[in-house]
Amino acid sequence: MNRLLLLNKPFQVLSQFTDRDRPGNPRATLADYLTAPEFRAAGRLDYDSEGLLILTDDGVLQDQLANPKHKQWKTYWVQVEGTATTKVCRALEQGVLLKDGPTLPARCRLLQIPTIWDRNPPIRHRASVPDSWIELSICEGRNRQVRRMTAAVGFPTLRLIRKSIGPYSVDGLEPGQHTYVEPITTQSGNNTGKRQPSSFSRRVRTRSARHSERRQNTHDD
């Protein structure tokens, strides 16, 4: 049966099961949190980003979720340097010019500080520089697009969390935890799903603690 796996990918974990670039000193990968060799990620999430990563054992579903032509909306919670305003959101919504061309129209709103998990290691705060949060939704999939968009309007990204992809959300999952859903195709072509408890969930916290120590000795190239 075709299934989707929703994972809350922790900070500094690769969105793949092996680190081909550093076999002698590998970084944390999905294999540190999952035993699901038949699943493949439907799209990537940067090494230094957190939040929802969807994996599937079905190639058609993988394409529907990852291929930009299907225009699945991806929503991010973004902590930025500086005090974001509605003017900043309007600029992001209208699209910004990047080196690889203008972005498509987006959705943006200001956020109060969200109630979320702590990051390990935490963000470095500077007393003289304020920070703020926005919620940004895009339907493209360019490399490090959200970070480049906020930088283009003068607000560098400090922390990036993917909240949802289409109808699928990271809600209820702690870093390193995952759950399975059954995909349902509606008349509009959107996928929906009902969560099912993961057989790994009780083991994730122990494994997360063990690998957080390991990640402290690794860094992104």
19 is catalytic: no
Among residues 32, 46, 58, 131, the one annotated as catalytic is: 46
Task: Locate 49 and state its tokens.
Answer: 């980003």
Topology given in CATH for the domain delimited by 73-165 = Alpha-Beta Plaits (3.30.70)
Q: Which tens digits make up the pLDDT trace of 191-204?
A: 444 444 333 333 33
pLDDT band at 60 (very low <50, low <70, confident <90, very high): confident
**CB-CB contact of 27 with 12 (8 Å):** yes
Task: Locate 157 and state its tokens.
Answer: 């990204």
Topology given in CATH for the domain delimited by 1-70+166-221 = Alpha-Beta Plaits (3.30.70)
**CATH 3.30.70.1560 boundaries in the chain:** 73-165
Q: Which tens digits make up the pLDDT trace of 106-134?
A: 999 999 999 999 998 898 888 888 999 99
**CATH 3.30.70.580 boundaries in the chain:** 1-70+166-221
Q: Cβ contacts of residue 174 below 8 Å, gap of 6+?
A: 8, 117, 204, 205, 208
